[in-house]
Amino acid sequence: MSTFSWQGGTGRWYEFEIVRAQRVWEPVGGVYMFVKPQEQAQDWGGPISLFVAKTDDFSTTLARHDMWQAAQNLGAKEIHILVVKDPQTRERVEKDVLEAQAPILNRNMLRRVA
């Protein structure tokens, strides 16, 4: 199992599992992100979070996600997941990661609503 640690706005680190997009999803809740992996040719930076969200059930949310194609268009090849069973904790983790990572697809969603 491959993992990657993402930092939240509070400074806390969260260890996400790196998974394939095509898979059987577990019916559990958590936080997920669509990620563009680090380019091997560059020796700086790391993976780029393109979209972050929470879900009550990975199996229904990620089976056909409407933002996956947009993320793929920006270079996403990985999904990073963190199982968080408690809904309040899940919301807190999502907000913390969103604050620090500011994914481009989340910013576009906020702009459309405003």
Tokens of 7: 């930092």
The pLDDT tens digits for 16-69 are 999 987 778 889 999 999 999 987 655 567 899 999 999 999 999 998 888 999
Question: What fold is seen in the domain 3-113?
Answer: GIY-YIG endonuclease (3.40.1440)
User: How much is the pTM?
Assistant: 0.88
Place of tokens 């394939």: 20
Find how far residue 10's CA is from the centre of its chain: 17
Q: Which residue has the higher pLDDT, 105 or 64?
A: 105
Three-state SS at 47: coil
Q: Is 56 helix (H, G, I), strand (E, B) or coil?
A: coil
In total, the chain counts a number of residues equal to 114
Return the closest-CA partner of residue 71 out of 41, 37, 44, 99: 37
